[in-house]
Every structure is written in C-alpha cells, then in structure tokens.
Chains A and B, each alone.
Chain A
Amino acid sequence: MAEDLEYTSFELMAVTGARELKDGEIVAVGLGLPVVASFLAKRTHAPHLTIVLELGIVDPEPIEIGSGLSDPRFWYRAKIHSSFVDMLGMVLHKGLVDVGFLGGLEIDAYGNLNTTLLGDPEGKYRRFTGSGGGNDLASCARRTVIIMRHEARKLKEAVSFITSPGYLRGSGERESLGLPGGPARVITDKAVFGFDPETKRMRLEAIHPNTTLEDILSNMSFQPVIPSHVPFTEPPTAEQLRLIREEIDPDRMYAGS
C-alpha cells in the first residue's frame, strides 16, 4: 500500500479535483484537467455523477478525450443532445448544477477569475478566451472548483479583469448581488485552497507532497490565510493513476508531463 508511486503534478491535480465531486451530484465541465477529474470521479467513488457540457450534452462516455467542447469525441455515447438553453438555462440557471469546474488564466485572493485579457484593460493588453460558459458557471453553480497552475503571475492580489465572479471584494458582496454559491476549492500544482468563511479570502487547506509552505507562498502574489495546521494532500492511488493513463487520457493530452 505505502509504495511510492510516481505521478505528474497534473495527475495529482486531476485526482484532487475528482475528490471534490460527490456521488449523485451534477457537474458542469469545460476543457482540460476538470474533464479528466470528472471522468475519474465517475469511474471511482461517484458512479452516479451527472456530467453536463454547456453546448447540450449529458453524461457522455468518450473513448477518446477530445480537443475541446466542440470535439465530437467528447459527445460520444451521450444520453442527450440538446442545447445551451437546456443545459446552461434549464439546468444551471435554474440552480441544479452542484459544481462548476473551471480553469483560469489568473485568480485573485477572493477567487475572482480572469480568462479575458492580460495587461491594462484600458490600454495595452493581450486578449485571451473571454467567458464562454465560465461566467455563467461561476455565477449560477452551487459551488465552483477551480484548477490552475501555481505561478506568481497567475495567483494575484487583484486580477486585471473579472471575467467570472468569486467573492468579489470579500465578505457579503457576492450575496448582495443575488449570486448563489461561490468558489469552494482552488487546486494548483502545489496546494489546495479554500476560502475563509468570514472574510472570503483564500485559505490554504492542503500542501501537495514534496512541496513546502515557502515554495507555495513564494510562488503567489498575495498572502493567503494560513491555518495553524495544514495537512498534506492525499496522493493518487495506483488505480486512479491507471484509469487516467490507460482509459481517460491515454494520449496524455491533459494529465501528462
């Protein structure tokens, strides 16, 4: 049992993300590691997880992971082919999505996500994806789980553009706008964060194996809340790694290197 398994930081992030999903929940996913994490959860502890894709797909069983939402590989063996109105409207906007699973370009201390631009929004900037369904998930899901690379330029005190709202400027602001939920977890390649229940500021919840607190803090641009006791993240099991490597992402599109 206690053998030291070799795994990549992406595999650890996918496994940690999978653990955030409970059996019987509805999860809405986009691209990349959240997809790997959701299929992993469904094949392990959460067989009754319902996976929805914004463009009109419920519970696909892909045999190839695909290059994005629009890749029909991702729609294979779905139970329903429908539409945005059906998924983002009648499932998400109605309040039935338990978990919105997101990636991001930048995140701030209150879980606000930027996927729109880097630089000065009023001056020179580099344009990226924008929202897609990201803002909708962050606004309407019961909770969101975010997977990000752990870099100082990505974990910032304030983001250059709020594409998808977290807790905005902290305690009470999100609720005052009538928005339910909010970010529950931020999973990076070094740590797992939650949010302080009062201030809504990001709080360290777990440190990945082979990482130190110094390494975590020196690679982020704000100071998170640090509780007196922080556990290590549970490492992947041999079975979880086998599923990722042999069945979910055999071409190592998302969970490799």
Chain B
Amino acid sequence: MTKLVTLAEAVATIPDGAHVALSGFATARCAIAFAHEVIRQGTKKLTVSQCVGAIDADILVGAGAVERIIYGGGSRGRSGQHSCICRAIEQGTLITEELSSLSMTFRNLAGSLGLPFIPIRSLNGSDILKKLEGITPPVVSYVDDPFTGEKWLVLKPLIPDVAVIQVQASDEDGNAWILGPRWDNEEQVKASKRTIVITERLVSTDAIRREPDRTVIPGFRVSHVVHLPYSAHPSSVYGIYDFDEAHIDEYAAASKTPEGFQQYLEKYVYGVKDHWGYLEQVGGLQRLSALEADPVLGY
C-alpha cells in the first residue's frame, strides 16, 4: 500500500496542539524541511519532544509554533547553543519539561513497551528533578521495589501523537532504514501513536526484503511517507550528506537575535514556495553536491 504524500499533505495531518516527537540530534538527521512546512502552514501550540535538542526544534520554537518542549537539554556542540530555545526559556514563553538524555529515552521506552511507569537511577538529587516534581499533572513519582523495598524514582511514559523521523531509505509503505547511530528514534516511533517517515531515498519493498536487518521502522507503524531529498539540510544524514557547516554558521549567527532569526525565516522559509525553493536558496545542486558523503567515511 502506498502511503506516499507530499510534505504539505503530511504536515496538514497534524492539528494545532499536537505532540510531535522529532528525530534530530544536535546537527544530525533533523526534520528541517518538516519544520519549515509547519511554519509555512501556521500550525501552532505544538508540544515537541526530543532526546537531545536539535536544529529542527530550535527553528520551530523560534517561529512560535511550539507551546511546550519536552527534552533532555543539548546544544549544537562547538557551534553553540540553540539560541531560540534558550531565549524562549529565559523569557518564560516556552513551557519546559526538562530531563536528561537517558530519562527522555526511558520515557519513550516505557511508552513503546506499554508500561505504566519506568524506574531510573538518573536525576536523583538534581535540580532537574526538583523542577520536574513541580509539574502538574505529575511526570515523576516514587515507588518501593516490591522485591527489595528500595525506593525508586519513576517516570511517566511518553506517548507522542506523531513521530516525525528523517531516514536514509524507505519504501512506499514506510518500512524504513536508519543508518548510523539511531539515538532514541526507534523508541520515539514505537512510543508514538503514528509515524511520518521523511526519506532521502525511496526504495522498493523488494530492496527492503533483501536487507531487513537494516529496517528500524516497520511500515505498520507509519501513517505517511514523504520522499524528499536533502530534507535534513543543513544537518547531516549519515552515509548520504554531511552537515553544511557554512549554513549552520549562518543560522547560528542569525538566531542569536529575534530580528536576525526573523530575517532568516524570511529568506529561507517564508521567502520560498517549498523545499525545492529552499534548496535553490541555499545554493542549489552546486552547493548540495559538495556535501555528498564519501562512502567510506560516511560524511
């Protein structure tokens, strides 16, 4: 069965106020084209969850599409902080449910397994936990281990409305390969009510059946498939293209101020019709082919 739709059609299935799990990690496999289309369609009041903050979430927060973020912190590494997220937290315009990488992953894992809660050793004694304890309805609690009597911190599962996952390859049914490390993408998909796959390459189901050991996302969890090359640019997609350092530098500088970020949106999001327009705006095939990954290096 084909689940192929355009990016605009896939984004239109997400109502205001939905909880969206995003696949990005810092500067890798970020759902950038997706974020841009959400902004163009004017979808609002999203809850965004992500294990480690990435550029896709930063763009959505900067554009005012996000009401709440559930994440484990994070930056772009050497290229600096996620300025839009930091600014929104400082100004109190973003509801923040902040955890750590593992506690975020465990919440998705609990959601994926259908468990009512999951115990964890992390967070104890920290001010992260103090802030989580202040959230209503509660997202953390304590139970006694029924076997040893030991007291354990437990976390509430996450069940996002939709996971939006950037992958290297998928068939029309959404059977999808993720190459390279997967961080918590598999748990995000399996915790979510449904998944939108955004794929660099569209392959046949025969190709999937020949190498099923690469398949991380089974098609039966997927509602829509979008085939869109360079849809994670300027972040990297392992084995296909490297991150665009110059463009990320441009984004980093622009996003330092609300005015700069607004100009960035005008140029790359509102000022173009769609993703193809964006790719022309960032330098077209000449620029993109320079980012093509070396098959040995993977970047």
Q: What residues of chain A have their CB less than 8 Å away from a CB belonging to chain B?
A: 31, 53-57, 67-73, 75-76, 81-85, 88-89, 92-93, 115-116, 121, 125-136, 139-140, 161-165, 168, 173-174, 177-179, 253
Cβ-closest chain B residue relative to A56: B181
Is residue B125 within 8 Å, beta carbon to beta carbon, of the partner chain?
yes
Is residue B38 within 8 Å, beta carbon to beta carbon, of the partner chain?
no
* A131–B79 touching, CB < 8 Å: no
A105 to chain B, nearest CB (A): 11
**Given A67-B79, A70-B77; A57-B27 close (CB under 8 Å):** no
Q: What residues of chain B have their CB less than 8 Å away from a CB belonging to chain A?
A: 25-28, 51-54, 71-79, 81, 85-87, 89-90, 98-103, 105-106, 109, 120-128, 150-152, 179-187, 235-236, 238, 242-243, 245, 293, 297-299
* A83–B186 touching, CB < 8 Å: yes
Could you list 6 examples of A-B contacts with CB < 8 Å?
A70-B52, A73-B297, A75-B180, A85-B187, A133-B102, A135-B123
**B73, B78, B90, B124: most-surrounded residue (chain A CB, <10 A):** B73
* B101–A54 touching, CB < 8 Å: yes
* B127–A128 touching, CB < 8 Å: no
Question: Cβ of B52: which chain A residues have Cβ within 8 Å of it?
Answer: 55, 70, 132
**Given A57-B181, A75-B238, A162-B127; A130-B73 close (CB under 8 Å):** yes
Cβ-closest chain A residue relative to B125: A165
**Given A70-B27, A179-B124; A129-B74 close (CB under 8 Å):** yes
Which of A67, A75, A140, A178 is the one whose CB lies under 8 Å from B77? Answer: A67
A-B contacts, CB under 8 A, total: 197
* A128–B81 touching, CB < 8 Å: yes
Which of B26, B28, B53, B181 is the one whose CB lies under 8 Å from A82? Answer: B181
A151 to chain B, nearest CB (A): 19
Known: A72-B298, A127-B90, A165-B124. 11 other contacts (CB 8 A): A31-B78, A67-B79, A70-B235, A71-B28, A71-B236, A71-B299, A75-B181, A84-B51, A88-B102, A93-B122, A127-B81
Question: Cβ of B243: which chain A residues have Cβ within 8 Å of it?
Answer: 71
A188 to chain B, nearest CB (A): 21
Which of B73, B150, B187 is the one whose CB lies under 8 Å from A131? Answer: B73
**A115, A129, A130, A179: most-surrounded residue (chain B CB, <10 A):** A130
Question: Cβ of B105: which chain A residues have Cβ within 8 Å of it?
Answer: 83-85, 88-89
* A132–B122 touching, CB < 8 Å: no
**Given A56-B181, A84-B184, A130-B98; A68-B125 close (CB under 8 Å):** no
A199 to chain B, nearest CB (A): 17
Cβ-closest chain A residue relative to B71: A130
Question: Cβ of A31: which chain B residues have Cβ within 8 Å of it?
Answer: 77-78
* A72–B299 touching, CB < 8 Å: yes
B256 to chain A, nearest CB (A): 13
Bound together, the chains give a CA A133 to CA B99 distance in angstroms of 10
Question: Cβ of A84: which chain B residues have Cβ within 8 Å of it?
Answer: 51, 101-102, 105, 183-184, 187
A141 to chain B, nearest CB (A): 11
Bound together, the chains give a CA A132 to CA B52 distance in angstroms of 6
A203 to chain B, nearest CB (A): 21
**Given A71-B243, A85-B184; A116-B74 close (CB under 8 Å):** no
Cβ-closest chain B residue relative to A92: B102
* B125–A177 touching, CB < 8 Å: yes
**A54, A134, A173: most-surrounded residue (chain B CB, <10 A):** A54
Question: Cβ of A134: which chain B residues have Cβ within 8 Å of it?
Answer: 73, 100
